[in-house]
Amino acid sequence: MSVADPPISTGERWADRLICSKTGESGELDRPEFLSPAGAPWLVHYRLDAAAGPAFKAALAERPWNLWRYRELLPVKDWDRRVELGEGGTPLVRLERAVPAGIEVWLKDESGNPTGSFKARGLALAITRARELGAVGVQLASAGNAAIAMAAYAAAAGLCCRVAVPVDAPRTVIERCRLHGAQVIVAGRNLAESGVELARREGDFWELSTLKEPYRAEGKKTMGLEIVEQLGWSLPDWIVYPTGGGTGIVGMDKAFDELEALGLLAGRRPRFVAVQMAGCAPIVRAFESGLEHAPPWESPRSRVWGLRVPRAIGDFLILRALRATGGTAVAVEEERIEIEQKRLACEAGLLVGPEGAAAMLALESLAAEGRIERGQRVVVFQTGHPGNYA
């Protein structure tokens, strides 16, 4: 904070501008923006100083346990018109069974969000900002949870909504989107092809695909803020995260930066683990090859819909977070997913989606290799309810 800036206080909006994630160029916060002139994601910048940290922390004690408790670290301008369905505030559950011996494992269970997955967080913020910045319609390509979440929040906001899904997308996803009043385009063998078909459609609909606008990351970062609170203002040693577009890793890494700037965190950051499927693992391949960007995955194959993402526009941000924290990337074999879901249901009483099962399998592999050690604390993300793909 410069000497010319007034002290920041709780209750006010601390967001002040957008920053290009590649060049550092500034953009206007309250003007519609999508990708930066460099073709990279915009990220929201906040005016922060450690002097405001204690008051911010104290204010949380009086607020409801949901996403919106972190209002100073959210970019919403018209607070009273936010689009809220009860998102966030999900449990962090200590697992006693079905985990590697000697490792403290916590499951961040996102299935209780309003639309059954963590996508509710990002779309709540993206739809709120889209409406207050003047959008009349929104669209994206998705094979599952993001489509459901956008359809629901667009309905709550009174915005037109259009989603494109691949031809083999689950019928449940299509039916849920239509139930919320969304126009559903069934086209393409994968998300890239669905996106091409979506772009052909007429109408001034705003594109809300992963990291192609600045605000889904702001919703997803609240997962990191919650973990810190739930662990008594401390951090785990590892965060194991199912990674498609990777907004959660980008957002949580940003959240930890912001808490550190407020003087509320110190010490070593958690090591991020990006978990993908063997049939679609662009981040894993790029990480292992030492690349800064992840080339698109040719002919993606997986029935784990949330992880069948052939290209992530924020690839360099994900890879940067993995390397900066000493983390890693793991690919999981398809045939192990259903077995793991049944094992967790039987041994731990957990109903996990395929993405959560993939994350648990990655934990087991890293523990068996000695990468995750006895006595370490690990948070594993269970990102969505299996019923979304029934």
Does the structure show a pLDDT above 80 at 287?
yes
In the three-class reduction of DSSP (H, G, I as helix; E, B as strand; rest coil), residue 275 is classed as strand
- pLDDT above 60 for 4: no
Strand pairing partners for 137?
A: 160
Say what the pLDDT of residue 8 is: 77
- C-alpha 285: how far from chain center: 21
Band of residue 300 on the pLDDT scale cut at 50, 70, 90: very high
pLDDT digit string (tens) for 76-98?
Answer: 999 999 999 999 999 999 999 99
Q: State whether residue 282 is helix, strand or coil.
A: helix
Say yes or no: do domains 92-117+215-389 and 119-207 share a fold.
yes
pLDDT at 3: 43
Q: Give mean pLDDT, residues 261-288.
A: 97
Burial of 293 (0-12, 13-18, 19+ CB in 10 A): exposed
pLDDT band at 389 (very low <50, low <70, confident <90, very high): confident
**Domain spans, the chain:** 15-81, 92-117+215-389, 119-207
Q: State which CATH number among 3.40.50.300, 3.40.50.2300, 3.40.50.1100, 3.30.70.1880 fits the domain covering 92-117+215-389.
A: 3.40.50.1100
- Residue 11 scores a pLDDT above 80: no
Count CB atoms within 10 A of the CB of residue 387: 11
Residue 5 confidence (pLDDT)? 61
- What pLDDT is attached to residue 388? 87
Across-strand partners of 180?
none
> How far is the C-alpha of 234 from the C-alpha of 211, rounded, in Å?
28
DSSP state string for 228-254: HHHTTS---SEEEEE-SS-HHHHHHHH
Which has the higher per-residue pLDDT, 8 or 151?
Answer: 151
**For the residues 132-161, what does the mean pLDDT come to?**
96
Neighbours of 336 (CB within 10 A): 17
In this structure, of 50-59, 278-287, 299-308, the range with the lowest mean pLDDT score is: 299-308
Task: State the angle between helix axes of 247-261 and 222-230 in degrees (0 to 180), rounded to the nearest 10.
Answer: 60
For the chain, the average pLDDT equals 95
Q: What confidence score (pLDDT) does residue 1 get?
A: 47
Interval 28-48 mean pLDDT: 97
Identify any residues that bridge with 370 across adjacent strands, giving them in sequence order.
Answer: none
Phi, then psi, of 233 in degrees rounded to 5:
60, 45
Using one digit for the tens of pLDDT, what is the confidence trace for 204-253? 899 999 999 999 999 999 999 999 999 999 999 999 999 999 999 999 99
Phi, psi of 93 (to 5 degrees): -105, 125
- CA dist., res. 166 & res. 169, Å (int): 5
How large is the average pLDDT for residues 14-37? 97
CATH fold of the domain at 119-207: Rossmann fold (3.40.50)
Q: Considering the entire predicted model, what is its pTM?
A: 0.95
